[in-house]
Chain A
Amino acid sequence: MSGGAQAFLMLDLMPLSAAVLAALGCGLLGNFLVLRRQSLLGDAISHSVLPGIVVAFLVTGSRSPAVMLPGAAGAGLLSVLLTDLVRRIGRVEPGAAMGVVFSLFFAAGVYLMQQAARNVDLDADCVLYGQLETLFWTRPSGAGLLSAATLASVPRQVTTLVIVAACAVGFIALLYKELRLTSFDPDLATSLGFRAGWVGAMLLALVAAATVASFEAVGSILVVAMLICPAATARLLTDRMDRQLVLSGLIAGATAAAGYFAGTRLPGALGLPGAVNAAGAIAVVAGLAFALAAVASPSHGIVARALRRQALSRRIAVEDLLGALYRRAEAGPGAAPLAARLLRAAPLARRLGLVAGAPAQTPSLTEKGETAARAIVRRHRLWEAYLVERAGMLPDHVHEPAEALEHVLDAESPGLGLDPLPVVDPQGKRIPGDGGAPPGQARSKPS
């Protein structure tokens, strides 16, 4: 085995696995927190574990994880219960209740830590940033890859994270339907006989477990980032819950790996000495992934939405121009000139072959433009008729709404109940017919 690979196995494999596993577990669970608007729960829990750790240490005098983890879990759970109590009994706004409780827990932790620090070095930093970089792996030489000796040599943190990630995947796989229903519509879920409260409590317990199991290896900063960023990123990329889950898992794993390598290798590649904190780097990469999705997602990105909006406003401008030209031709000679606002769409309409004429002149409708314009005016006048006949609006109030509706909605759907379709609009103007039929003559006169 080459020296590079040897070094990778020893120095990088375990931290990398820990980061990816923690990201996977948190990232998958986070989907439901984000949907339930409980994103900050992980933040609150991870701040609250501090006093639990210190108290566990002060009481037992031991730094063994068998003591620390239950202490952390107890404090996290207590903070959740207290938050609920303050919110319900004290009638404090949920966000503020959370802020009150977790900041107090953290303060208690800092205070206690200061008291304990005189006896032994207890590091608050590792709670926040984790200690990914310290997870070395000394693989027993000669043992097979899956032998008991090899598996036993895996750092305990990684084993814990394997269990947590497996629990998260199993929980979601088993209760997918319940989770989805209770997250989207808890009232409907309850009325259908699902125990929305229980599902929520189980989710909460699992988030707490993932938070506590992860903070030791990767730090609470990464837990918070991974609970929210991958889920939010996936949510910008798809509208389907199952796809969002898969995507968020992939994003979580990929950002964890990319962030780990960025933290450990990038400074060296840039000629800077040493490495930077890997957990922080992963959080930054997760943020960059979210920013990328926010800007460039094809369905919900800022750019795509701006482009769609622009395309829509262009289409509306062209349709307005066509409608105005049609009405002008209808009015016959001596009609007023078109407003400059409408003429701004003329170059585009000309490019599309809908109007003809020299740029300086008032454009004239081509044959294609005539057909399109007739359809627009027909929709407009049908909508006016609908708004008066079926919606009970006054004839002189319907132009504006019809102006908006004509671009987006068809007025001839039978559901609207315009039957027979009228041939004149409320102002007595003829409604042009569809297709080649001579306008307004194919149907019987309305009453």
Chain B
Amino acid sequence: MTPAGAGQASGASLAELADILLLRSGVNAANVLLGATLLGCAAGLVGAFALLRKRSLMTDALAHATLPGICAAFLIADSVGLAAKSLPILLAGAAATGVLGVLAVQLIVGRTRVREDAAIGIVLSVFFGAGVVLLSAIPRLTPTPSGGLNSFIYGQAAALQRGEVVLIGAIGAGVLGATALLLKPLALVSFNDAFAQSLGWPVRWIDLALMALVVLVTIAGLQSVGLIMIVALLIIPPAAARFWTDRLWRMLLASAVIGGLSGYAGATLSAAAPNKPAGAVIVLTAGALFGASMLLAPRRGVAAEGLRRLALHLRVAGDHMLEALHDAAPDHPRGLPLAALARARGLSALHARPVLAVLRARALVSRSGGLFVLTARGRAEGARVSRNHRLWAEYLVTHAEVARTHVDWSADQVEHVLSEELVAALEQSIHSRGGTRLPGATP
């Protein structure tokens, strides 16, 4: 494709894109969008429970296991004279062997010493192998054209069509309804299955119901997304949602929203450019949302996590600097140079510079003539840190029976996180035992 051609194509599609996004381009496109969105929502919701139950890769075995069912259903329907490519028939076959695959995994794990990962791999490859054998045999067994069965593996090559979407949407809506009904037991089992068992919930059956929902989502997505990538719709939205929250309900909601958004945006994009594979576009959209969540989510995202760590690190290193300045104050009333400070805390000068800059910005340290000296606030703060250090060291020696030579390092770690109540209690305890005098102790 030439760059000019590419520019033209995207230029033409922008207006179309807006039309499709706003459901203005006709009933057909609106239906497609609705179907893809419902599928995404359902997959996100069900997948969230699968993720929490650590069944994510089980869905992979299940999805691969649908292939022989599709082929067998095609052959059987063809031999009894039904329309062999009728979607409901093929999906019924897919569901049958999908369930069989799940049962096979559970049988292998329950009855042999083979562990779950290997059991999943065995079922996945053997069932898929059987499907491949059937697929290669079909053209020789029947003259009925079987082209298009491939799309169950790789997903739809082009934009979704309306007829296919009605079934997808119906299954998606059904799954959403069933999940809503089962919300409480599913949540309980995902959170603490032993507790659920002790309350008398039939955990085994709830798990089976979850797998049944996964089967439904899988067969709903088979035609559009394909059996290899449907796993993506079940795994990626909940994994992305997990970054945003620690609360179950919010995670379920976020997962459903991310799934729905992927379906919606993916279907839109592929409708704007009809030769883009719809399934792959939906999955890639979900992947983009996952990447954004992983990086940017405020709770558990990588950026937020990094900032929090940086802040903590600066505070800890700053406390150490204050402590060093405070302890050195009697001998060096005019302050210390950067190099000496860095050496006192084992930091490089490069490392110490930003730490001191933060302290100066907080007006705890001032600089005069290349020497750093504590301000009045800094002196109070330094005394506090130094006192915490010695209190904790004292506590370790007197209460935890740690040797006096071993307490310094531990106290360095803990001194920053002592609460005021704890400090008061420590002071009380050490005073009552006639302990050493500590700096800045309030009478």
Q: Which residues of A contact B (CB under 8 A)?
A: 34, 37-40, 42-43, 47, 86, 89-93, 95-100, 103-104, 106-108, 110-111, 114-115, 118, 124-125, 128-129, 221-222, 224-225, 227-229, 231-232, 235-236, 263, 267, 272-274, 276-277, 279-284, 286-287, 290, 294, 300, 302
B131 in contact with A99 (CB, 8 Å): no
Task: A115 to B419: give the CA distance in the assembly, Å.
Answer: 61
What are 13 sample pairs from A and B whose C-beta atoms fall under 8 A apart?
A40-B117, A40-B120, A86-B294, A91-B300, A93-B54, A95-B56, A95-B57, A104-B284, A232-B119, A236-B112, A277-B133, A283-B130, A294-B114
Task: A337 to B231: give the CA distance in the assembly, Å.
Answer: 63
- Determine chain A's interface SS by DSSP, over half rule: helix
Tell whether B118 is near chain A: CB-to-CB under 8 Å: yes
Partner of A34 from B118, B127, B137, B155 at Cβ < 8 Å: B118
A-facing residues in B113-172 (Cβ within 8 Å): 113-115, 117-122, 124-137, 140-141, 150, 153-155, 157
Task: A290 to B114: give the CA distance in the assembly, Å.
Answer: 10
Task: A228 to B128: give the CA distance in the assembly, Å.
Answer: 14
With a cutoff of 8 Å between Cβ atoms, the chain A residues found around residue B287 in the complex are: 100, 104, 107
Closest chain A CB from B285 CB (angstroms): 10
Partner of B277 from A114, A290, A294 at Cβ < 8 Å: A114
Partner of A103 from B124, B137, B228, B277 at Cβ < 8 Å: B228
Task: A125 to B136: give the CA distance in the assembly, Å.
Answer: 11
Closest chain B CB from A308 CB (angstroms): 14
Tell whether B320 is near chain A: CB-to-CB under 8 Å: no
With a cutoff of 8 Å between Cβ atoms, the chain A residues found around residue B134 in the complex are: 276
With a cutoff of 8 Å between Cβ atoms, the chain B residues found around residue A283 in the complex are: 125-126, 128-130, 132
B126 in contact with A284 (CB, 8 Å): yes
Task: A271 to B236: give the CA distance in the assembly, Å.
Answer: 47
A47 in contact with B228 (CB, 8 Å): yes
With a cutoff of 8 Å between Cβ atoms, the chain B residues found around residue A286 in the complex are: 125-126, 129
Task: A286 to B226: give the CA distance in the assembly, Å.
Answer: 25
A103 in contact with B236 (CB, 8 Å): yes
Task: A276 to B242: give the CA distance in the assembly, Å.
Answer: 44
User: With A93-B51, A95-B54, A235-B114 given, is the CB distance from A110 to B129 under 8 Å?
Assistant: no
Task: A118 to B1: give the CA distance in the assembly, Å.
Answer: 9
Closest chain B CB from A163 CB (angstroms): 24
A294 in contact with B108 (CB, 8 Å): yes
With a cutoff of 8 Å between Cβ atoms, the chain B residues found around residue A37 in the complex are: 115, 117-118
Tell whether B232 is near chain A: CB-to-CB under 8 Å: yes
A228 in contact with B108 (CB, 8 Å): no
Task: A224 to B300: give the CA distance in the assembly, Å.
Answer: 34
Closest chain B CB from A294 CB (angstroms): 5
User: With A93-B56, A99-B60, A287-B122 given, is the CB distance from A272 to B137 under 8 Å?
Assistant: yes
Task: A236 to B111: give the CA distance in the assembly, Å.
Answer: 11
A280 in contact with B132 (CB, 8 Å): yes
Q: Which residues of B contact A (CB under 8 A)?
A: 1, 51, 54, 56-57, 59-60, 108, 111-115, 117-122, 124-137, 140-141, 150, 153-155, 157, 226, 228-229, 231-232, 235-236, 238-239, 242-243, 275-277, 279-281, 283-284, 287, 290, 294, 300, 302
Can you name the residue of chain B whose Cβ is closest to the Cβ of A36? B117
Closest chain B CB from A236 CB (angstroms): 6
B56 in contact with A96 (CB, 8 Å): yes
A229 in contact with B232 (CB, 8 Å): no
Partner of B121 from A43, A97, A302 at Cβ < 8 Å: A43
Closest chain B CB from A290 CB (angstroms): 6
Partner of A272 from B122, B141, B150, B242 at Cβ < 8 Å: B141
- Determine chain B's interface SS by DSSP, over half rule: helix
A227 in contact with B280 (CB, 8 Å): no
Q: A95-B56, A280-B130 are in contact. List 15 more A-B contacts (CB 8 A).
A: A95-B54, A96-B235, A99-B56, A99-B239, A100-B235, A106-B228, A110-B280, A225-B126, A229-B125, A277-B135, A277-B136, A287-B129, A290-B126, A294-B114, A300-B113
Task: A103 to B59: give the CA distance in the assembly, Å.
Answer: 12
Q: Which 9 A-B pairs have the closest CB atoms?
A: A283-B129, A287-B126, A280-B132, A103-B232, A225-B125, A107-B283, A277-B136, A228-B121, A280-B133
User: With A114-B280, A225-B125, A280-B136 given, is the CB distance from A294 to B112 under 8 Å?
Assistant: yes
With a cutoff of 8 Å between Cβ atoms, the chain B residues found around residue A290 in the complex are: 122, 126
Task: A58 to B312: give the CA distance in the assembly, Å.
Answer: 47
B137 in contact with A99 (CB, 8 Å): no
B157 in contact with A114 (CB, 8 Å): yes
B130 in contact with A103 (CB, 8 Å): no
Partner of A104 from B111, B236, B281 at Cβ < 8 Å: B236
With a cutoff of 8 Å between Cβ atoms, the chain A residues found around residue B228 in the complex are: 47, 103, 106
Can you name the residue of chain A whose Cβ is closest to the Cβ of B238? A96
Can you name the residue of chain B whose Cβ is closest to the Cβ of A115? B1
Closest chain B CB from A169 CB (angstroms): 22
With a cutoff of 8 Å between Cβ atoms, the chain B residues found around residue A281 in the complex are: 129, 133
B129 in contact with A96 (CB, 8 Å): no
With a cutoff of 8 Å between Cβ atoms, the chain B residues found around residue A276 in the complex are: 133-134, 136-137
With a cutoff of 8 Å between Cβ atoms, the chain A residues found around residue B243 in the complex are: 90
A107 in contact with B279 (CB, 8 Å): yes
B231 in contact with A103 (CB, 8 Å): yes
Closest chain A CB from B57 CB (angstroms): 4
Closest chain B CB from A277 CB (angstroms): 4
B113 in contact with A236 (CB, 8 Å): yes
With a cutoff of 8 Å between Cβ atoms, the chain A residues found around residue B238 in the complex are: 96
With a cutoff of 8 Å between Cβ atoms, the chain B residues found around residue A114 in the complex are: 157, 275-277, 280
Task: A272 to B150: give the CA distance in the assembly, Å.
Answer: 23
With a cutoff of 8 Å between Cβ atoms, the chain B residues found around residue A231 in the complex are: 118
Task: A34 to B112: give the CA distance in the assembly, Å.
Answer: 14
With a cutoff of 8 Å between Cβ atoms, the chain B residues found around residue A125 in the complex are: 150
Closest chain A CB from B108 CB (angstroms): 7
Partner of B114 from A103, A106, A224, A232 at Cβ < 8 Å: A232
User: With A114-B277, A279-B129, A300-B112 given, is the CB distance from A267 to B235 under 8 Å?
Assistant: no
A235 in contact with B117 (CB, 8 Å): no
With a cutoff of 8 Å between Cβ atoms, the chain B residues found around residue A34 in the complex are: 114-115, 117-118
Closest chain A CB from B131 CB (angstroms): 7
B232 in contact with A100 (CB, 8 Å): yes
Task: A273 to B57: give the CA distance in the assembly, Å.
Answer: 37
With a cutoff of 8 Å between Cβ atoms, the chain A residues found around residue B239 in the complex are: 90, 92, 96-97, 99-100
With a cutoff of 8 Å between Cβ atoms, the chain B residues found around residue A110 in the complex are: 154-155, 226, 229, 277, 279-280
A277 in contact with B277 (CB, 8 Å): no
Can you name the residue of chain B whose Cβ is closest to the Cβ of A288? B126
Task: A424 to B135: give the CA distance in the assembly, Å.
Answer: 74
B57 in contact with A99 (CB, 8 Å): yes
User: With A91-B300, A99-B235 given, is the CB distance from A39 to B118 under 8 Å?
Assistant: yes
With a cutoff of 8 Å between Cβ atoms, the chain B residues found around residue A93 in the complex are: 51, 54, 56
Chain A CB within 10 Å, residue with most, of B60, B155, B302: B60
With a cutoff of 8 Å between Cβ atoms, the chain A residues found around residue B131 in the complex are: 280
Task: A104 to B287: give the CA distance in the assembly, Å.
Answer: 6
Task: A286 to B118: give the CA distance in the assembly, Å.
Answer: 13
With a cutoff of 8 Å between Cβ atoms, the chain A residues found around residue B137 in the complex are: 267, 272, 274, 276
With a cutoff of 8 Å between Cβ atoms, the chain A residues found around residue B130 in the complex are: 280, 283-284, 287
Closest chain A CB from B187 CB (angstroms): 18
Closest chain B CB from A255 CB (angstroms): 11
Can you name the residue of chain B whose Cβ is closest to the Cβ of A37? B117
Task: A359 to B137: give the CA distance in the assembly, Å.
Answer: 62
Closest chain A CB from B375 CB (angstroms): 39
Task: A43 to B232: give the CA distance in the assembly, Å.
Answer: 14
With a cutoff of 8 Å between Cβ atoms, the chain B residues found around residue A279 in the complex are: 129, 132
A222 in contact with B232 (CB, 8 Å): no
With a cutoff of 8 Å between Cβ atoms, the chain A residues found around residue B141 in the complex are: 272
B111 in contact with A302 (CB, 8 Å): yes
Chain B CB within 10 Å, residue with most, of A98, A267, A277: A277
Closest chain B CB from A166 CB (angstroms): 24
A99 in contact with B136 (CB, 8 Å): no
